[in-house]
Every structure is written in C-alpha cells, then in structure tokens.
Amino acid sequence: MIGKLIERIVAVLTFVIALCPVFLFPNQLCAAQATQEETLHIAVAANFAKPVKAISEEFETRSGVHAIITVASSGTLYAQIKSGAPFDVFLSADAERPLQLVEDGLVASSAVKTYAVGRLAYLSRSLAEPAIDDLKTAALAPNEKLAIANPRLAPYGLAAQQTLLKLALWQQMLPSLVYGKNILQAYQYYISGNVDNALVAWSLIKDRSSHVVLIPEHYHEPIVQKMAVMKAAAHPEAAARFMEYLLSPKVQKSLDDWGYGQALDTPGESLGN
C-alpha cells in the first residue's frame, strides 16, 4: 500500500518538474524550440558574405532563428537552386537571377526584393592613389595581371567587364586577366600577391585609404542586388521575417559602413520593392 502511494507521489512530482520550464521560462523555452526547429538556409553571393553573417547573428539574437550560410557566386548558387538545393533565402549580387527564379516557377514575384546596391573598385599595388586611367597603364605593362570575377558567374565580374569595355581595354587586357570563380576569390588573388591589380567589390576592401579608387557608377550597369524567398522554403515565415529585418531602416543604414548603397537608393524603387 505504502509502496504504491510512493510510486504515485514520484509520478506526480516527475510530471510537475517536467512542466516547470513551461510556466517559469516560457520565452526561453520558445526560443530554444525555435532554434532547434527553425534553421534558415541562406545562399549568399560572395560579396555579401561578411554583412550577412553579422546581420544573421543579430537576427538570431532577436528571433531565435539560426542561419546556415552558403557562399558562392550568384551564378553557381542559381544553378544549385535550379538543381533542388534546399535553400530558404537567396541573396544574389544581381537582379537577374532572382527574377529568373520567378520565371522558373521557384519563387513568387512578391518574394523578390532589392536589399542593397553594390559598388566596384580598382585596386593597384604599385600606386598609392590610383586613378581610373591607370588601368590603361596596367594594360600596356607586359607582366601586369588584373584579377576580376568570372563575368559569366558573378555580377561584379560583369561590372568589371563593362568597365573595361567602357575604357576600350577589354580586348587588350584579355591575356592579362585572372578570373576568380567569385568576387571573393578575385580579391584573394590580389591580397595573396598573385596579381598587382584587381577590380573587386568596394565592400571587400578593409583599408580604403590608399591603393584603391571607387569606379564611377556610369562605367557599368548598376549592381542592384536582389534577394528571394523560395516557394519550397522549409520555414517560409522565418524567411519572410529575415527579409523584413534586412530591409529594416536600422540594417539598411548599416550598409553604408559595409560599402553598399541602400535599397532606398535604387532608381525608381522604394525601400523593399
């Protein structure tokens, strides 16, 4: 009799202890469950890898939603998505590929937004204060190499190609070009000393006080960077909240420090459109 009573008491106490976290720490429990259940898979173009890491960490602190980030060129990520890669959000370095995903039936048109506007820069190891015309000097030098991202895969590579075409240097510099599979790799070629010149994203350059000049925007098509939430997103609500957070005034203002123009600055667009 006493043994059965003790068993019942133990069972009741076990049940009460199990319920305690729900009543005492409901917010913490919900956050823990969100962390376990909601993990966003974000595909990001290489130029925006550092900003999205910082932004996603801030978002996780606010929402409890963790992000797993995959970095590659926009073209490579687009191909992976077309092949069924399970990404929730795609941050491209251009507008074309997210819009193409709409045409492909993988993204709703309302789920595509501009999140940033990129800038291109010219790096020269030999010149402390380079100018745009110094690209012409580099083109004439016999052993000079210029790193750019692959124009077929990376929008910043396409902008570099357009800049060289604008300067009538594209054909002349073809033998001197070193292609990165994405803009980050092109920048690494310069940092490692493999090349002495590079056309890369302004946002990647840590020290902007010397050896670099910003390319005027009229030298290439605007680098309008759009993002998209996949129709097949595992956590569409969390993905939509992340998009909303990235377009918030606080985050948009921080893009200036990273080397980007805000989505609000895009011609003909308002924030988030």
Beta bridge partners of 189: none
Instruction: State how far Cα 83 lies from the chain centre.
Output: 20
Picking from 86, 95, 87, the residue whose alpha carbon sits closest to that of residue 113 is 95
Residue 237: phi, psi to the nearest 5? -70, -45
What 3-state DSSP class applies to 221?
coil
Burial of 55 (0-12, 13-18, 19+ CB in 10 A): buried
Structure tokens that stand for 189 in this block? 């070629």
The neighbour count for residue 28, using CB atoms within 10 Å, is 11
How many whole angstroms separate alpha carbon 236 and alpha carbon 142?
Answer: 53
SS3 assignment for 156-185: HHHHHHHHHHHCCCHHHHHHHEEEECCHHH
Task: State yes or no: 203 annotated in a binding site.
Answer: no
Task: State yes or no: 74 annotated in a binding site.
Answer: yes
Residue type, 145: K
How many whole angstroms separate alpha carbon 269 and alpha carbon 273?
Answer: 6
How many whole angstroms separate alpha carbon 112 and alpha carbon 46?
Answer: 19
Taking a C-beta distance cutoff of 8 angstroms, is the pair 72, 87 a contact? no
Give binding residues for molybdate as ranges.
74, 183
Give binding residues as ranges.
74, 183
